[in-house]
Amino acid sequence: MTDAGPQGDESTPAAVRSGDAAQFALLTERHRRELQVHCYRMLANYEDAQDLTQETFLRAWNKRESFRGHAALRTWLYRIATNACLDLLDKRDRTPMPSELPDVEHEVPHLQPYPDRMLPEDPQEAVVARETIELAFVVAVAHLPPRQRAVLVLRDVLGWPAPQAADALELTVASVTSALQRARVTMREQLPDRRLDWRTPATHELSDDERRVLTAYIDAHQRNDLAGLTALLRHDLRFAMLPDPGTVSTTAKEAVDGWVSGGLFRVHDDWRGVATTVNRMPAAVLYLRTPDDPVHRLFTMAVLHVVDGEIAELTGFDVRDEPWLGLPPTP
């Protein structure tokens, strides 16, 4: 991602420092969506990303006298946003995972999906976002210590040179280089089957396989077809249902049996599904009608990672009380 800021406009520093709130908003608001994505990559939580983006603009306004135009306005805002996120991460409580569940991996209990409608509208921004906005990437980044997280995002996602990242984080170049090396090792461990060259653009459109599997997944739910649902899942499925903690690696049959025994899937349920995308991934929004209700109600969202025509990872979210996703309450 290039730093396409207005550094060549000599009037910008004076405009930022002028104290004209309307002019300040005009200059900074155009960066809101990309800053929100940046905060989301840092925090793995959409609502926190919204709050921290607003905090970024508040801090920028309060620090406007410090903007001298040595870097682009966009760079200055990213620096403020990164440090605001680090401040939140320093305060965020770390909830211990239950030690009695040996096959549940440590995950991100506060993880939320990111609505595609809120992604930057610029085509290049969207292309870059595909692999660095997917849930697996966001979860992998969340496994990093805060400073490593910031270094990785600034260096490998935004493409900042080491001196620029070091200046933003008030670190030495050597410290940034060392942190990046450690972060890359962790990312390779967390994403062994993923492409790790995030600076090379990849298409952000769903593939034919993804569309086909998503349609079949919704159809299997609507027909209460357990065999059809099982057939869509890769044998070594990775499954998570948030806000419950942990990701379980399981077989397709064990996963479906667990959903049935846990009440997530009953043969007499009346489901309706709607296809959508979040985090540039195929997602099924599922609506459930109970026997005592005449209409289907918003219930859950299943975000699918499709590999070779099968669902390799399925992340479910309870979306009944998540109005920020913009999902209609009934299909």
CATH code: domain of residue 313: 3.10.450.50
95 & 24 share domain = yes
Say if 40 falls within a structural domain. Answer: yes
- Which strands form 247-250's sheet, in the order they lie side by side? 104-105, 247-250, 233-242, 310-318, 297-307, 281-289, 270-278
Domain extent, residue 162, equals: 11-190
Count of structural domains, the chain: 2
Say if 202 falls within a structural domain. Answer: no
Domain boundary among 158, 190, 222: 190
141 & 259 share domain = no
* 252-306 pLDDT tens trace: 778 777 777 666 666 668 999 999 999 999 999 999 998 888 999 999 999 999 9
Smallest CA-to-CA distance from 119 within 130, 111, 110 is with: 130
* 12-57 pLDDT tens trace: 899 999 999 999 999 999 999 999 999 999 999 999 999 999 999 9
Mean pLDDT of 119-146: 84
176 & 46 share domain = yes
pLDDT band at 245 (very low <50, low <70, confident <90, very high): low
220 & 297 share domain = yes
> Prior bond to 243 cis, omega within 30?
yes
* 175-229 pLDDT tens trace: 999 999 999 999 999 988 777 766 655 667 899 999 999 999 999 999 988 899 9
The number of beta carbons lying within 10 Å of the beta carbon of residue 158 is: 23
State pTM to two decimals: 0.88
147 & 232 share domain = no
93 & 171 share domain = yes
Q: Distance (Å, rounded) from C-alpha 3 to C-alpha 116?
A: 23
36 & 156 share domain = yes
Say if 331 falls within a structural domain. Answer: no
Supply the Cα-derived Rg of the chain in whole angstroms.
21
Q: Distance (Å, rounded) from C-alpha 80 to C-alpha 73?
A: 11
Mean residue pLDDT across the chain? 86
CA–chain centroid gap for 246, Å, is 17
SS (H, E, C) the chain: CCCCCCCCCCHHHHHHHCCCHHHHHHHHHHHHHHHHHHHHHHHCCHHHHHHHHHHHHHHHHHCHHHCCCCCCHHHHHHHHHHHHHHHHHHHCCCCCCCCCCCCEECCCCCCCCCEHHHCCCCHHHHHHHHHHHCHHHHHHHHCCCHHHHHHHHHHHHCCCCHHHHHHHHCCCHHHHHHHHHHHHHHHHHHCCCCCCCCCCCCCCCCCHHHHHHHHHHHHHHHCCCHHHHHHHEEEEEEEEEECCCCEEEECHHHHHHHHHHCCCCCCCCEEEEEEEEECCEEEEEEEEECCCCCCCEEEEEEEEEEECCEEEEEEEEECCCCHHHCCCCCC
Q: At what angle do helices 73-91 and 46-62 cross, to 10 degrees?
A: 120
102 & 42 share domain = yes
Domain boundary among 131, 158, 190: 190
Domain boundary among 190, 223, 250: 190
262 & 313 share domain = yes
Say if 169 falls within a structural domain. Answer: yes
Q: Kindly state the percentage of the chain with pLDDT values over 90.
A: 64
Question: In angstroms, what CA-CA distances link 238 with 12, 116, 135, 253?
Answer: 49, 23, 12, 12
CATH code: domain of residue 161: 1.10.1740.10
Q: Distance (Å, rounded) from C-alpha 208 to C-alpha 60?
A: 43
Which pLDDT belongs to residue 252? Answer: 74
Q: Are strands 104-105 and 297-307 parallel, antiparallel or unpaired?
A: unpaired
109 & 243 share domain = no
